[in-house]
Amino acid sequence: MDRRFPFKVLEHIFSFVDSNEDRNSVSLVCKSWFETERRTRKRVFVGNCYAVSPLKVARRFPKMRSLTLKGKPHFADYNLVPDGWGGYAWPWIEAMAARRPFLEEIRLKRMVVTDECLEKIAASFRDFKTLVLTSCEGFSTDGIAAIASTCRKLRDLELRECIVDDLGGDWLSYFPETSTSLVSLDFSCLDSEVKLSDLERLLSRSPNLKSLKLNRSVTLDVLESLLRRAPQLVELGTGSFSDELDPEEIAKLTKALSELKQLKSLSGLWDLLPEYIPLLYSLCPRLTSLNLSYATVQMPDLIDLLSRCSKLQKLWVMDLIEDKGLKTVALCCKELRELRVFPSGADLDETDVTLTEQGLVSVSEGCPKLESVLYFCVQFTNAALVSIAKNRPNFRCFRLCVMEPFAPDYRTQQPLDEGFKAIVERCKDLRRLSVSGLLTDKAFEYIGVHAKKLRMLSIAFAGDSDLMLHHLLSGCQSLKKLEIRDCPFGDTALLENAAKLETMRSLWMSSCFVSFGACKQLSQKMPRLNVEVIDEHPPKTRPDSSPVERIYIYRTVAGPRLDTPEFVWTIHKSPEVGVSRLSIR
């Protein structure tokens, strides 16, 4: 017991420690620091909902006000995790409802959230303020209605890219009749129409609303009436932007848009028609964030818009922007920090669009603050990657998706090893990297040697052998999340580097050559790893040499989970048992 620092003083000092990483370090110093820290932590982040039990978390942090949880592995976004895998929010909601009634904020990502969960939240946390669900599923608009009607202090209700059982737009009318405390409302992922009058009335009685993201079914002709009631908006996600308006309506809408003096962020813009681009001009000079990734506008119309956005920090577009448009961005958007370029064709082999590596090179040359990129492109070159790395050593997040699997440098036919080498050598602060194109083991040797701060790495269709994985696991000191698909290795590197896996949050491998025997060995070797085999088409017998479809390995202090579906096997720790599927309904 440290007599020099009474609890109150420590507590006061710790109140200045915001970052959870720092707090985790603080809690390891000694028992009294652990105790003080845990009693003062307000924002709790659990990166893998199966790494620890809800009960333990509830007990450890009595002053918890905000809980953030992540469930399914990231590759679930691309349909690589079968439905029903897990990630249920209910045990967490239940545990918190019973023990932490003062919880105010819940943020969930890739979790299964049912209407019961939402009803429980509404019923249990009387000061509940913030619900943010990202890529979640399992609930209907009834659950949302429960939140809207019961949480009297609700400030944030955001549904981002969720899969919702949409029973209709009635839920919007469930907000309290008197003025609401809403600050942000995002229902952009819902399909059904909401009643205009409900929405208008809600806006009129929500004076604090700063962020509003409509869904696509809100048509352009009603936008003006909504904006008139919420001129204080800082973030706006429009609905569809393609309906026919007569000149008078256009004039009114133009005026309403120009009245949004605080607007910094614009999104939605579904099917934006080129003739409506001028309506947005008044907003452009103030915009720091612009999401055009659902706006099917092509060149050269985009130039007129982008050249006016000199304060832009974040830009999401489709590849319709082409190299030319990115050149404009490089010239005009000197504050740009984040760029994402998505493919515009559903049939990805039929793009007529001229987006090449040159586009990214231009932006890396022209935008000195650029630090985060997601770029989909058909082909790439080493020379371009080297230029990009030279121009922009300040990348923190570099995700390049060369859409052709195994595509080499199309000018030299060489693998893209040297290009990615330049990236990891020069970008010393790189935290997140996605590689693609033709890559040999050499590329991963470079990554292992240079990418010391790398936390998350995504790999597909790459490498030659186990060496690839070995380089990564033995080299990347800060690696926390590794996800790999369709690469030709497995057992040896995994077993050699088993200890490393406990320093990471998780490892996902699908369509690689990992054998069942290796999974068993790994699990037996490492007691605090859950080794999950995910196999939708399991063989009748499972000899040790048989390959597994997918494995998901994560560290945990909660032991094997009890909610696995029939296609998931958690490898049991004791060799005689082999595999177990413990489950409770």
Partner 1 sequence: MISELEMGKAESELELGLGLSLGGGTAAKIGKPGGGGAWGERGRLLTAKDFPSVGSKRAADSASHAGASPPRSSSQVVGWPPIGSHRMNSLAAKSAREEEEAGKKKVKDDEPKDVNKKVQVGFIKVNMDGVAIGRKVDLNAHSSYENLAQTLEDMFFRGNPGTIGLTGQFTKPLRLLDGSSEFVLTYEDKEGDWMLVGDVPWRMFITSVKRLRVMKTSEANGLAARHQESNERQRK
Q: Tell me which residues in 287-326 interact with partner 1 (CB under 8 A).
A: 293-294, 296
Q: Which residue number, 56 or 411, has a Cβ lying nearer to partner 1?
A: 411
Residues 179-198, one symbol each (x = binds partner 1 by CB under 8 A, - = not), give ----------x---------
In angstroms, what is the minimal distance from the CB of 79 to partner 1? 5
In angstroms, what is the minimal distance from the CB of 571 to partner 1? 16
344 touches partner 1 by CB under 8 A: yes
Q: Which residue number, 336 or 487, has a Cβ lying nearer to partner 1?
A: 487
Residue 158's CB: how many other CB atoms inside 10 A? 19
Q: Tell me which residues in 121-160 interact with partner 1 (CB under 8 A).
A: 135
Q: Which stretch binds partner 1 (CB under 8 A): 22-30, 86-94, 283-291, 463-471?
A: 463-471
Q: Which residue number, 207 or 345, has a Cβ lying nearer to partner 1?
A: 345
Which position among 35, 77, 127, 429 is part of the footprint of partner 1 (CB under 8 A)?
A: 77
Amino acid of residue 96? M
Which position among 496, 528, 579, 580 is part of the footprint of partner 1 (CB under 8 A)?
A: 496
Closest CA relative to residue 467, chosen from 491, 484, 498, 483 = 491
Amino acid of residue 388? I
Q: Which stretch binds partner 1 (CB under 8 A): 56-64, 251-259, 390-398, 505-513?
A: 505-513
Q: Which residue number, 275 or 536, has a Cβ lying nearer to partner 1?
A: 536
Residue 555's CB: how many other CB atoms inside 10 A? 19
In angstroms, what is the minimal distance from the CB of 439 to partner 1? 11
Question: For helices 7-14 and 31-40, what crossing angle results, to 10°?
Answer: 60
For the purposes of burial, counting CB atoms within 10 Å of the CB of 471, is it exposed (0-12), middle (13-18) or buried (19 or more)?
Answer: buried
485 touches partner 1 by CB under 8 A: yes
Closest CA relative to residue 423, chosen from 457, 460, 473 = 457
Q: Where are the beta strands (DSSP E) in 417-466?
A: 432-434, 456-460
In angstroms, what is the minimal distance from the CB of 541 to partner 1? 13
Q: Which stretch binds partner 1 (CB under 8 A): 169-177, 278-286, 347-355, 359-367?
A: 347-355
113 token code pair: 């959230």
Helix (H, G, I), strand (E, B) or coil at 420: helix
520 token code pair: 């068993």
Q: Which residue number, 128 or 446, has a Cβ lying nearer to partner 1?
A: 446
What is the distance between the alpha carbons of residues 389 and 142, in angstroms, rounded to a whole number? Answer: 49
In angstroms, what is the minimal distance from the CB of 458 to partner 1? 8
Taking the C-alpha atoms of 175, 176, 181 and 183 in order, what is their torsion angle to the nearest 10 degrees?
10
Which position among 78, 197, 390, 477 is part of the footprint of partner 1 (CB under 8 A)?
A: 78
CA angle 459, 460, 465 (to 5 degrees): 85
Which position among 549, 552, 554, 571 is part of the footprint of partner 1 (CB under 8 A)?
A: 549
Q: Which stretch binds partner 1 (CB under 8 A): 218-226, 465-473, 552-560, 576-584?
A: 465-473
275 touches partner 1 by CB under 8 A: no
Largest CA distance in the chain: 78
Q: Tell me which residues in 85-124 interact with partner 1 (CB under 8 A).
A: none
In angstroms, what is the minimal distance from the CB of 411 to partner 1? 8
In angstroms, what is the minimal distance from the CB of 520 to partner 1? 11
Cα distances (Å, whole numbers) of residue 230 to 223, 243, 260, 514:
11, 22, 8, 56
Q: Where are the beta strands (DSSP E) in 343-502?
A: 372-377, 397-402, 432-434, 456-460, 481-485
Q: Which stretch binds partner 1 (CB under 8 A): 53-61, 196-204, 279-287, 412-420?
A: 412-420
Please list, in sequence order, all residues whose beta carbon lies within 8 angstroms of the beta carbon of residue 585, skipping any fewer than 6 positions away: none
203 touches partner 1 by CB under 8 A: no
122 token code pair: 């509404």
DSSP string for 237-265: E--B--S---HHHHHHHHHHHHT-TT--E
What is the distance between the alpha carbons of residues 353 and 220, in angstroms, rounded to a whole number? Answer: 28
Which position among 177, 246, 248, 349 is part of the footprint of partner 1 (CB under 8 A)?
A: 349
165 touches partner 1 by CB under 8 A: no
Helix (H, G, I), strand (E, B) or coil at 20: helix
Residues 506-545, one symbol each (x = binds partner 1 by CB under 8 A, - = not), give ----xxxxxx-xx--x-------------xxx-----xxx
Which position among 50, 75, 380, 552 is part of the footprint of partner 1 (CB under 8 A)?
A: 75
488 touches partner 1 by CB under 8 A: yes
362 touches partner 1 by CB under 8 A: no
Rg of the chain on CA atoms, in Å: 25
Please list, in sequence order, all residues whose beta carbon lies within 8 angstroms of the beta carbon of residue 204, skipping any fewer than 6 positions away: 229
Q: What ranges in 151-195 are assigned the alpha helix state H?
A: none
410 touches partner 1 by CB under 8 A: yes
Residues touching partner 1: how many (CB under 8 A)?
79
DSSP string for 56-97: HHHHH-TT--EEEEE-S-GGGGGT-S-TT---BSHHHHHHHH
In angstroms, what is the minimal distance from the CB of 121 to partner 1? 24
18 token code pair: 């915001």
Q: Which residue number, 33 or 410, has a Cβ lying nearer to partner 1?
A: 410
Q: Which residue number, 125 or 444, has a Cβ lying nearer to partner 1?
A: 444
DSSP state of 173: G
354 touches partner 1 by CB under 8 A: yes
In angstroms, what is the minimal distance from the CB of 297 to partner 1? 13
Bridge partners for 338 per DSSP: 314, 372
68 touches partner 1 by CB under 8 A: no
What is the distance between the alpha carbons of residues 385 and 357, in angstroms, rounded to a whole number? Answer: 8
404 touches partner 1 by CB under 8 A: yes
Bridge-based pairing of strands 481-485 and 506-510 is: parallel
Q: Tell me which residues in 369-398 interact with partner 1 (CB under 8 A).
A: 376, 378-379
Q: Tell me which residues in 205-264 interact with partner 1 (CB under 8 A).
A: none
465 touches partner 1 by CB under 8 A: yes
Q: Which residue number, 351 or 580, has a Cβ lying nearer to partner 1?
A: 351
Which position among 140, 351, 394, 580 is part of the footprint of partner 1 (CB under 8 A)?
A: 351
